[in-house]
Structure 1
Amino acid sequence: MSVDPSSLAVTLGAAVGALVLGVDPQIEVEQAEAVSHTVQQSASRLLEGVSAAIESLPPEAQAPAEQVVTETSERLQNEIEVLLPDGAASHEEEVAESGNGETISAAEQVDVIEPSYSAAVTPMLSAAPSISPFTSTAPTVPIGAVAVFAPWLKKAGAICDGITAPVLAALYSVENSFRYGPTAPVSPAGALGPGQFMPGTWEIYGTDADGDGKADVLGVADPVMASGRLLCDDWDRIEQWKKDGRVVGDTLSLTLAAYNAGAGAVLRSGGMPAGLPDYENQTKPYVAKILAARPAFARMLSPFLALELPTEAHDLGRRVIGEAFRYIGLPYVWGGGNIEGPTGGGFDCSGLTSFALHAAAGIVLPRTSETQWHVGIEVPLDQARAGDLVFGNWQAGGPGHVGIYLGGGLMVHAPTTGDVVRIGEVFPDMRARRIV
């Protein structure tokens, strides 16, 4: 395998950034490879961590690769140290100079939801560790979590100019490491789901974003969209307070602080919440860690943020994709799903395509990938358009897998047991078939 230095630097640098920023290196490597795929077509999927990535290189390339990791580790460590609580007094000094000492009126207390989330379970930003690129004590994130959340992070990141998808992703990594579903941990204070919503706040912001008939605080779509709306509301509120001279500071930092401690804490402090132990030991480090993680998540999300359906994609193809996107994050269940929706708690690959085609166009497909291959007409993969079906994992009886083509070499599919409905790269052996 030939090694392109720029591609290697992107992949390894992103992986080391993940170790520093509390993100599973497996996720970072997988997404970094997607970014560099056009440069290094023959690169294998680096899903076993940085150590496996380096070991897979030719002997003459391993030493330079280790040097890239070392240099990137040192650079990122130096950059992150300035954000640590012991070394960053800027927020405290700012509040001391600008705090107006005003209290919140009864009317403001109704308008300002506080606190939205439990500061008690916010992960603390510890002192910068001595980083080994081959080990990590960072909280693990399920493989593919960013891909599962990406479509909704993109949508929520478009609600207002101040809150972007990378900001939301970094916040979710800090809040609950993207853990969702029935087994997602509940904080001691009762905060729920990947967005760690307190019940009272969820009653206000929780809605059915994905059209599955319920507002699910433990899901993917509903919490992400709720977080986007809450953050944008706080952003607008803080911008107005700044214009009124009631608070000072960076609007994004104050908005993130409001997500953790409540907007009322920002207003009472005249800026970044300060003074109380919870503010000093949790809110400030919480904000710093999200801001530090934002660039890494911008890299990881870049393939998904750039994903747009081709302009020639017809409306029916868009609808097929839209129906499948409703269930991004739903577990893979062998034999799961039909034209009515998920069964047994999820979909398998052909169950997802059966549902999406029926929901979008009223088309009833045969149940398996092998039989679905015989519907419609085959088209060259390089001529596939959004909404076409793509088939792979060829066996004696036909294709063992099917997904829905998105364009740009990507598909939405239900991959395998233990995984979830997600966006992924088209397999090398795939062939396309036009149904709609």
Structure 2
Amino acid sequence: MKKVLLGCAVPFVLLGAVVAVLLPTVTVGAAEPGRTSVSGVPEEYRPWVLAAAAHCHDPALAPELLAAQLFEESGFRADARSPAGAEGAAQFMPGTWATWGRDDDHSGTASPFEIGDAVMAQGRLMCSLLGQAAVSGFVDDPRRLALAAYNAGWAAVEANRGVPPFAETQRYVADIIGNLARFRGAGQLSEITGHGVGPDAARRAATQLGVPYSYGGGSPAGPSRGYCDGDGGQRDGQCLAGTTVGWDCSALVQYAYWPARRLPRTAAEQYSATADRPVARADLRVGDLLFWRHTVSGHIYHVALYIGHGMMISAPKTGDVVKEAPVADMPDSDFAGATRP
């Protein structure tokens, strides 16, 4: 079979463990770069949401995901109780709390009614569920699978090989994913303006923010498991792409434009198909495609969507997620040019 070079073959970062994550002592505010912003969250929750996101190995656990989940669970009410017996802002059942709850705020007790304890436990549980979702092989956004498991249990997700058909769980997942933009902090996503095919493609790509990178993964139908070859997908003899549902760079671009523009699958093919419509950097518009090539071989290895203000939406590498990033993050010496589909 003829080998197809996808592009996006960049250094890999090993995903973390699938099982429960034992976190170090929490220092509130010690968030990692890129996880320092969230909006629409009560001030007493904000440092804990940022800390919970920062202490997870999985970049899919963004602060806005935890915030939207807290809003759905309790409306940020620390004293919330459900008729079923769930307690606190993150709505833990007593049995689940016994596994995940700790005295993270160092008050002397571990309580689901204390904001710090509840949010950090929520982060630990979601981090573990995202790990399970990432290696499950189920064809869906791992965030959706993790949220469904938080609501209905991982056994229900496993039995249905995806989000269970329960009305409550379906609504729960849809509400949280739909509210992500509401809680996304300033600077985490530039406003995508304009009308037409390009801006529409950029907005469609933005719906995939936070979905994992998977070498060879993705199609016009949505994210999927990738595969490994001599150029990417594996590390230390382990095929990560084969168990990760997500996107590589060119699949994300193809999905964003489909079906208005039926772009081919790989970054190199997309460059060839659109090279007759080049765009100067000074004339970039939302939705334009940005390409990078290896300086020695000339092979196109990465493509991203321009979203304005010097920013792009990109699926960069294994261990990362679809995200907004400055165009300047990519090496200028490798820049092959921009095109307009």
Q: TM-score, normalised by structure 2?
A: 0.49
Q: Who wins on radius of gyration, i.e. which is larger?
A: 1
Q: TM-score, normalised by structure 1?
A: 0.39
